[in-house]
Amino acid sequence: MVLPGPESIKLIMPNKTNAESAAAAAPAQPPESFEQAMAELAQLVTQMESGQLPLEASVAAYARGSELVRYCAAQLEKVESHVKVLEGEMLKPFSADGEDDV
């Protein structure tokens, strides 16, 4: 049995609309805040979990989600560094009942 070579295989791709092409070509705007990034991330997760996105849109949503996760992680690291400075590098264990652990 002989398989056809790559030159004889043609992929038929659906035509993108102008809006889809523009969205794919335009770089994503950085989020305005941590909260805005989290809200956008939650929206992307909901869309992806619905299973209604076409493959290319799912890949784009995944890529954007990855960017948002990196942004949020960086913001949290900045805040953690700031808290360490405010606390004099001595973070105290969190106590759920409000009492200090001594």
> Which of 27, 40, 25 is CA-nearest to residue 71?
40
Residue-range domain boundaries for the chain: 30-90
| pLDDT for the residue 88 | 76
| pLDDT for the residue 84 | 81
Q: CB neighbours of 38 closer than 8 A, spacing ≥ 6?
A: 68, 72
What region, left, alpha or beta, does residue 78 occupy, with left being phi > 0 and alpha being psi -120 to 50 degrees?
Answer: alpha
- pLDDT tens digit string along 24-73? 545 678 899 999 999 999 999 999 999 999 999 999 999 999 999 999 99
Secondary structure (3-state) at 99: coil
CATH for 30-90 (3.30.413.10, 1.10.150.120, 1.10.287.1040, 1.10.630.10): 1.10.287.1040
- pLDDT tens digit string along 74-100? 999 999 988 888 777 666 676 777 665
| pLDDT for the residue 12 | 42
